[in-house]
Amino acid sequence: MARWRRLKQGGPARQRTEFRSVMKVAVASQNRREVTGHAGRCRRFWVYSTENGEILGREMLDLPKEQSFHEHDVRAPHPLDGVRVLITGGMGAGLVRKLEARSIEAVATSERDPDQAVSAWLDGTLERLPAEESHDHAGEHGHTT
C-alpha cells in the first residue's frame, strides 16, 4: 500500500471562504532530492498541491514495487490517479500512453530540482523534452514500443 508523508511549506494554512480549486502535480524523485530520469520504475513521487499558479505544499508518496508504472496493471486504480501532470527526467512512449489514459499530462524535462520544475511548469517556462529522446535505455528491459 502507498504511504504518504506531508511536508509543510510556508506558514499556517490560509483561511478561505470561497471555493478552492487545488490542482495536483507529481514529480518523479526516487532520491527525494532530484527529478528522476526513469519514471516507469520510480517508486517515490513528490505530489504538490497548487492553486492559482502557486505551490501550497508537497507530500512524498512512497509506492511498493508492484505499484511502479512499469509493474502496475493499467486497468487497476493507481495512487497517482487524480494528479493533473507528472514531471520526470525521462519516459518512453509507452508510459506517455499509460498516463494519457489516466488523463495525466506527461512532461519530461532536463530540470533537476523538483520545486523549480513545478514552478516553471506552473508559469509555462519549463523546458520540455520529447518522450522518445528523453528515454535513453531502449532495449534494456524488453521494450518493444
Summarize pLDDT for 90-140 with one digit per residue, the tens.
999 989 999 999 999 999 999 999 999 999 999 999 999 987 644 444 444
- How far, in Å, CA of 54 to CA of 122, rounded? 8
- At 70 the pLDDT is 85
Local structure of residue 15 (DSSP, 8 states): P
Those residues whose C-beta lies under 8 Å from the C-beta of residue 15, and which sit 6 or more positions away, are none
Average confidence (pLDDT) over 67-87: 92
- How far, in Å, CA of 1 to CA of 64, rounded? 7
- At 132 the pLDDT is 60
Put simply, whether the predicted model's pTM sits higher than 0.85 gets the answer no
